[in-house]
Amino acid sequence: MKVKIFDESHEKDLENSINNFLQENDIEIIDIKYQTAVAVFSEEQIYCFSAMIIYY
């Protein structure tokens, strides 16, 4: 069993990263965990979109 972690600042970038990984690798997915985090720095909102794929 292995894991792959993805972390992007835009949801479309996360989607593209995951799709590329799945397309390039012949794997059996066990589970995918998804998380979104938001932080405020000064007056700017910073987003973090992440996912963990558990696979064989």
pLDDT of residue 13: 97
Residue 32, sorted as left (phi over 0), alpha (psi -120 to 50) or beta, turns out to be beta
| Model pLDDT for residues 3-35, shown as the tens digit of each residue | 999 999 999 999 999 999 999 999 999 999 999
pLDDT of residue 4: 98
Q: Domains in the chain, start-ordered, CATH in brackets?
A: 2-55 (3.30.1660)
| Structural contact between residues 6 and 36, judged by C-beta atoms closer than 8 angstroms | no
Average of pLDDT values for 35-41?
Answer: 94
pLDDT of residue 26: 95
Residue owning tokens 């799945």: 22
H helix runs in 1-56, sequence order: 11-24
pLDDT of residue 12: 97
Q: What pTM did the predictor assign?
A: 0.85
